[in-house]
């Protein structure tokens, strides 16, 4: 009589018990063969009986939260093919053959080439340093009074170092709670890279706004960044570094990023006038540029007045 394997999954954790006795009892009571410490499991919940001919008999023993076999409630079931899914209260379990094929081995986060980027501590340190340098440049270009270097250091520490540390801590904790993993080094790399890309692209978007005398580049960037790129990066991280299944990785990424997706979508649709929102302020185009590249031609005062005559008032809100 070959042995079987009972796979028990609780809160994302998988445990495996080899069943080689003719009869195995599962439940919360301490005299069970397999003890499940879960409040929704009955003291004696399931009996697994193995026959010499290879058949397996499963008996539900619970009055409360009775066991379901392949999704069907039944008091007992006899079967000769495996695997079979069993639900015991809130616990998902599965009986499989010992020779059941297992998923391919995932490479460690950062094995091979990717290790150079995602898993090496030096990259993390370097990228954090780059973030701090970019933050210092941002401080320099947005400070219009003379200052001491300590002021800049305080700004960089407060605005960037603390922000990045807080974000890394939050996401690492979330990852630990949801997926039971600590992936701090790859997380540092991904977050620093994302921060750097954002800091480098933002000024270019301002220039595009000026060139086209339109808020459209900014709006496109906002919706692309928050509603597409950030969830995309989160999905890649969950699939390739956290080794979640693609559909699960995408789902979690979307859930995690849903506040960003919702807020950016509302903001952009509002700015494009698709929502019937009232604003007492005049949303005119106020970007200015040191490069002064403009797509629109200059016009004379009289042409401006002629064109201004066609300006209609804004929409009346319902």
Partner 1 sequence: MHRRSFLFIFLAFTLQLLQSAPVQAQPLESKAIYQMHEENVFQIRVLNRETGKKSSIGSGFIVGDGRQVATNFHVISQIVSEPERFYISYLSKNGRSGELKLLGLDIAHDLALLGSELALGQANETSALPPKGSPVFAMGNPHDLGLTIAVGTNGGILNQTDDSRILFSGSLNPGMSGGPTFNDKGEVVGINVATSSNAISFIVPSVYLNRLVERVNKAPLNANQNLKAEVTQQLIAYENGYLKGILDQDWPKIQLRQLSVPGAISPTIRCWDNSRKLPDKALYKRYQINCANQNQVYLDSQNKFVGSLNYHYFWLESDELNSLQFYNLYQKLNESKIGGRASQEVVSNFNCKTWFVDVSQQTFKTSLCRREYVEYEGLSDILFTAALTGHDNKGFFVRLTMTGIDYDSSLPLIQKFMETIEWTP
Q: Which residues bind partner 1 (CB under 8 A)?
A: 140-147, 213, 278-290, 292, 294, 296-302, 304-305, 307-309, 311-317
Enclosing H/E stretch for 160: none
Nearer to partner 1, 105 or 312 (CB): 312
Sequence-distant (≥ 6) Cβ neighbours of residue 66 within 8 angstroms: 60, 73, 75
Nearer to partner 1, 90 or 285 (CB): 285
Paired tokens of 29? 């009571």
Whole-angstrom distance, CA of residue 98 vs CA of residue 82: 10
Enclosing H/E stretch for 121: helix 121-141
Residue 17's closest CA among 96, 70, 88? 96
The residue count of the chain comes to 318
Exposure b/e, 143-174, CB count within 10 A at least 16 = b: eeeeeeeeeeeebbeeebeeebeeebeebbee
Instruction: Tell me the closest approach of the beta carbon of residue 110 to partner 1, in angstroms.
Output: 37
| Contact between 60 and 46 (Cβ < 8 Å) | yes
Instruction: Tell me the closest approach of the beta carbon of residue 203 to partner 1, in angstroms.
Output: 9
Nearer to partner 1, 180 or 277 (CB): 277
Instruction: Tell me the closest approach of the beta carbon of residue 220 to partner 1, in angstroms.
Output: 18
Whole-angstrom distance, CA of residue 202 vs CA of residue 197: 9
Nearer to partner 1, 16 or 140 (CB): 140
30 CA to centre of own chain: 39
Strands 56-60 and 68-69, sheet pairing: unpaired
Nearer to partner 1, 81 or 281 (CB): 281
247 CA to centre of own chain: 12
Paired tokens of 224? 């692309």
Nearer to partner 1, 147 or 182 (CB): 147
Instruction: Tell me the closest approach of the beta carbon of residue 142 to partner 1, in angstroms.
Output: 5
Instruction: Tell me the closest approach of the beta carbon of residue 271 to partner 1, in angstroms.
Output: 12
Nearer to partner 1, 7 or 287 (CB): 287
Is residue 91 helix, strand or coil? strand
Instruction: Tell me the closest approach of the beta carbon of residue 312 to partner 1, in angstroms.
Output: 6
| Contact between 62 and 45 (Cβ < 8 Å) | yes
Instruction: Tell me the closest approach of the beta carbon of residue 274 to partner 1, in angstroms.
Output: 13
Instruction: Tell me the closest approach of the beta carbon of residue 143 to partner 1, in angstroms.
Output: 8
Nearer to partner 1, 78 or 151 (CB): 151
């Amino acid at each position: 009589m070959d042995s079987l394997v009972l796979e028990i999954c609780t809160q994302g954790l998988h445990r495996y018990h080899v069943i080689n006795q003719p009869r195995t009892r599962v439940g919360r009571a301490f005299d069970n063969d397999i003890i499940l410490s879960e409040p929704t499991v009955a003291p004696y919940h399931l009996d697994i009986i193995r026959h010499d001919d290879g058949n397996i008999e499963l008996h539900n023993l619970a009055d409360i939260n009775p066991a379901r076999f392949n999704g069907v409630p039944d008091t007992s079931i006899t079967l000769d093919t495996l695997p079979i899914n069993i639900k015991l209260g809130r616990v998902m379990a599965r009986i499989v053959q010992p020779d059941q094929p297992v998923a391919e081995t995932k490479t460690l986060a950062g094995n091979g080439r990717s290790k150079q980027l995602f898993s090496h501590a030096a990259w993390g340190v370097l990228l954090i340093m780059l973030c701090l340098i970019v933050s210092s440049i941002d401080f320099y270009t947005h400070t219009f009074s003379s200052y001491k270097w300590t002021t800049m250091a305080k700004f960089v520490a407060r605005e960037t170092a603390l922000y990045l540390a807080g974000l890394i801590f939050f996401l690492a904790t979330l990852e630990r709670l949801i997926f039971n993993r600590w992936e701090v080094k790859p997380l540092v790399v991904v977050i620093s890279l994302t921060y750097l890309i954002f800091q480098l692209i933002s000024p270019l978007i301002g220039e595009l706004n000026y060139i086209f005398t339109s808020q459209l580049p900014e709006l496109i960037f906002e919706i692309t960044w928050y509603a597409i790129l950030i969830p995309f990066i989160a999905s890649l991280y969950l699939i390739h570094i956290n080794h979640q299944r693609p559909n699960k990785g995408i789902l979690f990424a979307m859930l995690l990023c849903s506040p960003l997706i919702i807020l950016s979508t509302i903001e952009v649709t509002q700015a494009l006038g698709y929502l019937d929102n009232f604003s007492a302020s005049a949303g005119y185009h106020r970007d200015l540029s040191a490069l002064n590249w403009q797509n629109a031609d200059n016009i004379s005062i009289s042409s401006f007045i002629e064109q201004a005559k066609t300006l209609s008032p804004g929409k009346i809100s319902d």
